[in-house]
Amino acid sequence: MINQFEVMETIKMIQEEKLDIRTITMGISLRDCSDADGEAARRKIYDKITRYAANLVKIGEDIEKEYGIPIIHKRISVTPISLIAESCDEEDYVKFAKTLDAAAEAVGVNFIGGFSALVHKGYTSGDRKLIRSIPLALSTTQKVCSSVNVASTKAGINMDAVAEMGQVIKEAAELTAADGGLACAKLVVFANVPEDNPFMAGAFHGIGEPECVINVGISGPGTVKSALEKVKGADFGTVAETIKKTAFKITRMGQLVAQEASRRLGVSFGILDLSLAPTPAIGDSVAHILEEMGLERCGTHGTTAALAMLNDAVKKGGTMASSYVGGLSGAFTPVSEDAGMIDAVVKGALSIDKLEAMTCVCSVGLDMIVVPGSTKAETLSAIIADETAIGVVNNKTTAVRIIPAPGKNVGDVVEFGGLLGSGPVMAVNPFGSEAFIKRGGRIPAPIHSLRN
Amino acid sequence: MRAVITVIGKDKVGIIAGVSAILANCNVNILDISQTTMQDIFTMITLVDISKMSVGFSELSDRLEEKGKELGLEIKAQHEDIFNSMHRI
């Protein structure tokens, strides 16, 4: 029999350390929903999503109850809509976003991702229309998430798209000015986007994916932090070993839930995403793990090294625990969604520049960062260019989810509510990048011999 | 199919009676019980066989939870697999 200590450890992890399954995301291919008639395409999209995902929420809740482990989100990702919508001759894709929103509402999921376009090498006409529709689509829907991949290691950086995304973000912020620019929290700009990521806002169902698939994202920063509290002062070998063991346990639980969900839904299991995803709740912070390692505040010198080690140890421990690992897998550093990060910004310990450095060694990028509403579109584009360059050159995924909150300045705090948390407005570099962004074109793919 | 039922809280009269009455009503067989008191906190871990259970899992879980509220304790039923997967390779 399982011993008492193990039972109590599991229960403590769930109850006190906020261990949970962050998301069960059902990926649904919409490739058979294209139609020359936009209305017909939307009908097919709605019918297919509501048919495949009819039981998703119910089965998620059943598993939650039987295993006693909270499953925070049940979500859906779909084929990038630019690929589906471009068969019709409509100019405006907002109606497609509304269809996704209605389908998500009907099946009871809280987000649906895939209002997306992949333009790392260039635009098709559908990509262009989709990107132009993003600000209105995100400001007139509740549950739709959007992502645009503007760069890849093999293709380089599409600087036309980078320039346009700066404008799109500005426009989306202005359309939702009353909510602090909330639409931007549902929009991610990527380099090397993964096709099987279960986490929002960047989830979509890639074109190499099967008809329908279950991807699961795990979490557990609180569990890692409390494991580290038990090895105070020990050397880094011990710290890495402790993180690995904890990540292994968390991931095994995720694997169990993923297999169970895919079996009950009759859908193949795709991947487990081994991410430490924080929430604004106390005791669920990645920043606090870094501080537990001995940093006075997240963002001070040593933060990048601490994060690099954390990220690596999580992957090492988690990989052995799951048969298929994918998605973003690593530690997330979304500022507004992490109590420790928010604190670090407010105390002046953490800047955008340091976050950018941190993204070289962790899983995503500049995530949920609020900047002054007066930030120029070109500056946003330049921030995206920097971040995508890190991804492209280092052969990793990077992303930008940035919110130029209208009317807000450094020192203000923007409340988004719920899991999106509250974002202190961070300073951007006051010097311009207009002429750089205006050039347009494509930054060539980097060479990968002669590595220095 | 087996499940683990955990009871955590302040010790008092009638905990085992209360829990086992619910289990008997649901046709759940008790395989093993262990209990300890750690730092004044009473913990009881029960391994049960639910393969012939007469109600659904969530029904059992709700009844136990309700009993827990009545006794001022935390009572949880969880499928055994979660512990096995976490602690056994």
Model confidence pLDDT, tens digit, residues A9-54: 888 888 888 888 999 999 999 999 999 999 999 999 999 999 999 9
- Chain B residue numbers with beta carbons less than 8 Å from the beta carbon of A60 are none
Residue type, B62: D
| Nearest residue in chain A measured CA to CA from B62 | A65
If you classify domain A217-442 with CATH, what class do you get? alpha beta
**Domain coverage including residue B54:** 2-79
Burial A378-407 (b: 16+ CB within 10 A, else e): bbbbbbbbbbbbbbbbbebbbbbbbbbbbe
Q: What is the pLDDT of residue A2?
A: 73
CB-based contact A62 B8, cutoff 8 Å: no
Q: What is the DSSP letter of B37?
A: E
Higher pLDDT, A418 or A196: A196
Q: CA–CA separation, B3 vs B21, rounded Å? A: 16
Helix or strand holding residue A11 (H, E): helix A4-15
- Chain A residue numbers with beta carbons less than 8 Å from the beta carbon of B58 are 62, 65-66
Residue B39 tokens read as 């730092």
Over residues A432-448, the pLDDT tens digits come to: 999 999 999 999 999 98
| Nearest residue in chain B measured CA to CA from A61 | B58
Q: At B9, which CATH number?
A: 3.30.70.260
The yes-or-no verdict on residue A387 having pLDDT over 90 is: yes
Higher pLDDT, A267 or B37: A267
Task: Pick the closest to residue B2 from B44, B45, B51, B75 (CA basis).
Answer: B51
Domain count, chain B: 1
ipTM of the complex model: 0.86
| Nearest residue in chain A measured CA to CA from B86 | A249
Q: What is the pLDDT of residue A411?
A: 92
Q: CA–CA separation, A36 vs A141, rounded Å? A: 24
- Chain A residue numbers with beta carbons less than 8 Å from the beta carbon of B8 are 11
Q: Is B85 inside a domain boundary?
A: no
Mean pLDDT, rounded, of chain B:
90
Q: CA–CA separation, A431 vs A446, rounded Å? A: 27
Q: What is the mean pLDDT of residues B3-8?
A: 93
Q: What is the mean pLDDT of residues A385-408?
A: 96
Instruction: Answer whether B6 touches A (CB < 8 Å).
Output: yes
Helix, coil or strand: residue A118? strand
| Of the partner residues B61, B77, B82, the one whose CB lies closest to the CB of residue A69 | B82
Interface test with B, best of A3, A9, A10 (most B CBs within 10 A): A10
- Judge contact between A403 and A369, C-beta under 8 A: yes
Q: Is B88 inside a domain boundary?
A: no
CB-based contact A10 B87, cutoff 8 Å: yes
CB-based contact B34 A2, cutoff 8 Å: no
Residue B46 tokens read as 């029960």
Over residues A312-344, the pLDDT tens digits come to: 999 999 998 998 999 888 888 999 999 999 999
Q: What is the pLDDT of residue A18?
A: 83
Edge-first strand order for the sheet with B29-38 is B29-38, B41-49, B2-9, B73-79
| Of the partner residues A1, A4, A10, the one whose CB lies closest to the CB of residue B82 | A10
How close B20 comes to chain A (CA, Å)? Answer: 19
Mean pLDDT, rounded, of chain A:
94
- Please name the residue that has the structure tokens 């879980």: B61
The yes-or-no verdict on residue B48 having pLDDT over 90 is: yes
Helix or strand holding residue A372 (H, E): strand A366-372
Q: What is the pLDDT of residue A1?
A: 61
- Chain B residue numbers with beta carbons less than 8 Å from the beta carbon of A255 are 85
- Chain A residue numbers with beta carbons less than 8 Å from the beta carbon of B78 are 66-69
Instruction: Answer whether A256 touches B (CB < 8 Å).
Output: yes
Q: What is the pLDDT of residue A3?
A: 82
Q: Is B84 inside a domain boundary?
A: no
Q: Which has the minimum average pLDDT: A164-173, A207-216, B75-84?
A: B75-84
Q: What is the mean pLDDT of residues A141-146?
A: 97
CA atoms within 13 A on the CB side of B33: 12
Q: What is the pLDDT of residue A185?
A: 96
Q: Is B56 inside a domain boundary?
A: yes
| Of the partner residues B8, B32, B81, the one whose CB lies closest to the CB of residue A1 | B32
Q: What is the pLDDT of residue B7?
A: 92
Alpha-helical regions (H) of A112-151: 125-140
* Whole-structure pTM value: 0.92
Q: What is the pLDDT of residue B37?
A: 82
CB-based contact B83 A255, cutoff 8 Å: no
Q: What is the pLDDT of residue A418?
A: 80
CB-based contact B80 A2, cutoff 8 Å: yes
Q: Are strands A268-273 and A212-218 parallel, antiparallel or unpaired?
A: parallel
CA atoms A303, A305, A306, A311: torsion sign? positive
- E runs forming strands in A5-111: 21-28, 71-78
Cα A436 to Cα A267, A431, A440, A441, distances in angstroms: 47, 12, 8, 11
The yes-or-no verdict on residue A110 having pLDDT over 70 is: yes
- Judge contact between A202 and A399, C-beta under 8 A: yes
Question: ∠ CA A394-A400-A406 to the nearest 5 degrees?
Answer: 155
For chain A, give every domain's residue range: 217-442
Burial B76-85 (b: 16+ CB within 10 A, else e): bbbbbbbbeb
Q: Is B51 inside a domain boundary?
A: yes
How close A19 comes to chain B (CA, Å)? Answer: 12
Cα A127 to Cα A38, A83, A113, A161, distances in angstroms: 16, 8, 16, 10
| Of the partner residues B47, B58, B86, the one whose CB lies closest to the CB of residue A1 | B47
Write the CB contacts of A185 (distance below 8 Å, at least 6 apart in sequence).
A201, A368, A401, A403, A416, A420
| Partners of residue A425 on adjacent β-strands | A370
Over residues A349-366, the pLDDT tens digits come to: 999 999 999 999 987 889
Q: What is the mean pLDDT of residues B6-35?
A: 91
- Please name the residue that has the structure tokens 């300073």: A427
pLDDT > 90: percent of chain A = 86
How close B27 comes to chain A (CA, Å)? Answer: 17
| Of the partner residues B6, B45, B86, the one whose CB lies closest to the CB of residue A249 | B86
Instruction: Answer whether A69 touches B (CB < 8 Å).
Output: yes
Q: What is the mean pLDDT of residues A252-278?
A: 93
